[in-house]
Amino acid sequence: MAQPFRFMLNQTETESYGAFIPRNLRPLIDRAIPHARAQISGSPVVAIGLASSGQTYFGVNVELPGLPPNYSIHAEQFLVANFALHFELKLIGLAISPNGYYFKAPCGHCCQFLREISNMSDTKVLITGPTGQGETHGTRMLLSTFLILLGTISPGNVPRLLEPSDNSIGFIDSSLQMDICSNSEHCNHLSCRALRAATKSYARFSKCPSGVALIDRRGTVYSGWFMESVAHNPSLGPVQAALVDFVVNGDGQEFKEIVEAVLVEKRGAVLSQEDTARMILEKIADPDCVFRVLHCEYN
């Protein structure tokens, strides 16, 4: 089991590191690199995000042994999911590095994913040369260009990624609905937590919200929800989002400690997570992990 790592710094700790510039972030990159799970590629990546709250969050790449690389979690996706877990609303600074020496732009895959965040073009992206010399501050530079090339997403009346959302869904099975806890945000019932996660889904294009709750051998519950990209492929599935919660709050445990999981999604959804969730858990969780699917509908 890896040593536990705290994937965030409070405001006081953040201020102690000074300005959000590469030379101040290098010690943080060095601390986070060992907690990337890059067993396949051997290439760890760390993303650091400064939130509008004044707190700092970490993301790392997570590769899933036995599965193709397209099921991996990019460090930038991990970071956004970590923001969401802590109810952060805005990413104002972003730094990505594989080694702490130089800072690079987000990959094209993650530029598409980050595009779902409101006002992302205002985010400062830190970029340096390969040797770490000539620090630059990519305010608007990178993502603004990307947004211009791809067009913008009209915000309409739908909350954007990281903004508070309530999909107003409930279980089709009325007996399950009656058993929902009043504080489903923090209870230890998988059905409650998975439904609560699904209500937070960012699924504005498919209209197929979904959420997953996992439990480990210790009885700790973790959850995550679908975060959709207009480009589809960069979307973060609910199992991967729940795995981010597991990595952040699981004290360095391996995925094989996961013993039960619940997926909540719409019955007959045009975008179903069931087969993907089952396949991922069969590969990484306890061999006897119990997996259940519960169906929901809009209220």
Binding-site residue set = 61-63, 74, 107, 110
* Cβ within 8 Å of residue 273, ≥6 positions away: 210, 212, 226, 237, 238, 239, 263, 265
Catalytic annotation, pick one of 13, 76, 260, 265:
76
Residues 80/161, Cβ–Cβ less than 8 Å? yes
What distance in Å separates the CA atoms of residue 103 and residue 224, rounded to the nearest whole number?
Answer: 28
Residue 187 carries which side chain, given as an amino acid letter? C
Show binding-site residues for Zn(2+): 74, 107, 110
Task: List the structure tokens of 50.
Answer: 């400064």
Binding site feature residues for substrate: 61-63
Look up residue 285 and give its two tokens: 């969780």
Nearest C-alpha neighbor of 281 from the set 290, 270, 271? 290
End-to-end CA distance of the chain: 43
Is residue 285 within 8 Å of residue 258, measured between CB atoms? yes
Q: What is the DSSP string of 87-150?
A: T---EEEEEEESSSS---PPPHHHHHHHTTBTTGGGSEEEE--TTS-S-EEEETHHHHHHHHHH
Q: Distance of CA 64 to CAs 29, 42, 70, 282, Å?
A: 22, 12, 10, 11
Structure tokens at 207: 């209209």
Place of tokens 């009325």: 174
* Strand 290-298 versus strand 258-266 pairing type: parallel
Active-site residue, 76 included: yes
Q: Which tokens belong to 59? A: 């993301």
* Catalytic sites, residue numbers: 76
